[in-house]
Amino acid sequence: LVPVFYLVMIYSDYTGYPFPTAPPVDPFAKIRVDDCGKTKGCFRYGKPGCNAETCDYFLSYRRIGADVEFELSADTDGWVAVGFSSDKKMGGDDVMACVHDDNGRVRIHHFYNVGQWAKEIQRNPARDEEGVFENNRVTCRFKRPVYVPREETIVDLHLSWYYLFAWGPAIQGSITRHDIDSPPVSERVVSIYKYEDIFMPSAAYQTFSSPFCLLLIVALTFYLLMGTP
């Protein structure tokens, strides 16, 4: 019997090329939430106490040299995005989206909101991008420069912007309408120089949190205790 390693050497010498080997694949490093509010800023939307793997939507940002690193994750099999806006409304916004395509890959796309629809922009400021689709979630990480030449479709991140948060289904790698009618938005403008950990309850957990609902509960309790005349 001829040893296997000897056959490999013969094949290599005969063809001039060794057997091809697959390049190593680094696993996607999970998003850490214990750094939120300390070394990076975070937004969580969903159930109280949720993290990057359980929130309906999660975003983090941190400065790394001349770049800002973003991490996004959402409970969807399509896409997750963040928009940078001068107001709280959709339209005229710089948008970065992580899109899950039909080949199972997650790629970073750059869009510009024109009215109520997103136009893909060929110039993409993202770099060092990575993404994964698992457990029915799209998760990604990428960097983009803090400063960019003045251009309508790419904002300077050293300025403060409202952050628009959205996610939804994709068809053949193309984004479609977001999952909810009124996606969440940051309550105030966001500065990349200030790290906060902000939680926003999703609709399912807002029922008893508003002042009106609390007042209504107090009124009903008083009515029941006093009884009807």
pLDDT category at 21 given cuts 50, 70, 90 is very low
* String of DSSP letters for 111-149: EEEETTEEEE-S----EEEEEEEETTEEEEEEEEES---
Q: Would you say 167 and 137 are in contact if contact means Cβ atoms under 8 Å apart?
A: no
For the range 21-29, what are the long-range contacts, defined as Cβ-Cβ under 8 Å and sequence gap of 24 or more?
A: 28/130, 28/131, 28/132, 28/139, 28/141, 29/141
Q: Between residues 26 and 111, which one has the greater pLDDT?
A: 111
Identify the sign of the CA torsion 131, 135, 138, 139: negative
Q: Is the pLDDT of residue 101 over 70?
A: yes
pLDDT at 112: 95
Q: Would you say 39 and 63 are in contact if contact means Cβ atoms under 8 Å apart?
A: no
Q: Between residues 181 and 148, which one has the greater pLDDT?
A: 148
pLDDT at 227: 57
pLDDT at 115: 78
Q: Would you say 113 and 91 are in contact if contact means Cβ atoms under 8 Å apart?
A: yes
Q: Strands of 137-145's sheet, edge to edge?
A: 127-134, 137-145, 67-74, 57-64, 41-46, 197-201
pLDDT category at 29 given cuts 50, 70, 90 is very high
pLDDT at 23: 46
Q: Is the pLDDT of residue 131 over 90?
A: yes
For the segment 156-210, what is each residue's pLDDT rounded down to a tens digit?
999 999 999 999 998 877 777 877 778 999 999 999 999 999 999 998 887 654 4
What domains appear along the chain, each with residue ranges and CATH number?
41-226 (2.60.40)
